[in-house]
Amino acid sequence: MDVFKINRHIVTLGNFPIISKLYNRTAKALLVYEQLLLTRWKEKIDAWKDHLNANLLCVVKNDDENNQQIEINSNIELFSIFDEVKWFKRLELDIPKAALVCMQKVIIESKIKTQFLYYFFSIGTNIQTL
């Protein structure tokens, strides 16, 4: 509200002190809420460390049918975590190391994922989710 104090016309309005207090309370509540959500998100990332360190794609040999299959670590919440990490990184927020390592793996694996899928589809293998 310091920006508005420079403008004399706004400061002279009768409701300015009330509006200023309401604005400051709302801004403070939003900042506290934002910090609370970020803290909970970091705790969630710590709980998901094992899943974040797992490979997204892995090749499994099927002995019964004598072919290979791709298994995908396809927990839907992992993909939402990837999106959240991407946006938090854009906002330049402090991100846990496990999430950054995960994002680096996702970037590397996304570059070669198309090649993997092309290869395995061309030899007629099945894709199964875990």
pLDDT tens sequence across 33-69: 999 998 998 888 877 777 766 776 777 777 776 777 7
**Domain stops at, among 29, 47, 65:** 47
* Residue 41 and residue 57 share a domain: no
* Residue 37 and residue 56 share a domain: no
Residue 61 is predicted with a pLDDT of: 77
- What is the distance between the alpha carbons of residues 91 and 48, in angstroms, rounded to a whole number? 22
Q: Give mean pLDDT, residues 77-81.
A: 76
Residue 3 is predicted with a pLDDT of: 66
* Residue 54 and residue 15 share a domain: no
What rounded mean pLDDT belongs to the chain?
76
pLDDT confidence bin for 119, thresholds 50/70/90: low
DSSP label at residue 13? S
* Residue 120 and residue 65 share a domain: yes
- What is the distance between the alpha carbons of residues 54 and 102, in angstroms, rounded to a whole number? 9
* Residue 52 and residue 63 share a domain: yes
**Domain that includes residue 113, residue range:** 48-130
* Residue 83 and residue 113 share a domain: yes
* Residue 111 and residue 84 share a domain: yes
Contacts 24+ apart (CB under 8 A), 126-130: 126/67, 126/69, 127/69, 127/70, 127/72, 128/69, 128/70, 128/71, 128/72, 129/71, 129/72, 129/74, 130/71, 130/72, 130/73, 130/74, 130/75
* Residue 56 and residue 42 share a domain: no
* Residue 53 and residue 39 share a domain: no
Q: Say if residue 22's pLDDT is above 80.
A: yes
| Count of domains observed in the chain | 2
Residue 109 is predicted with a pLDDT of: 64
Q: Say if residue 128's pLDDT is above 60.
A: no
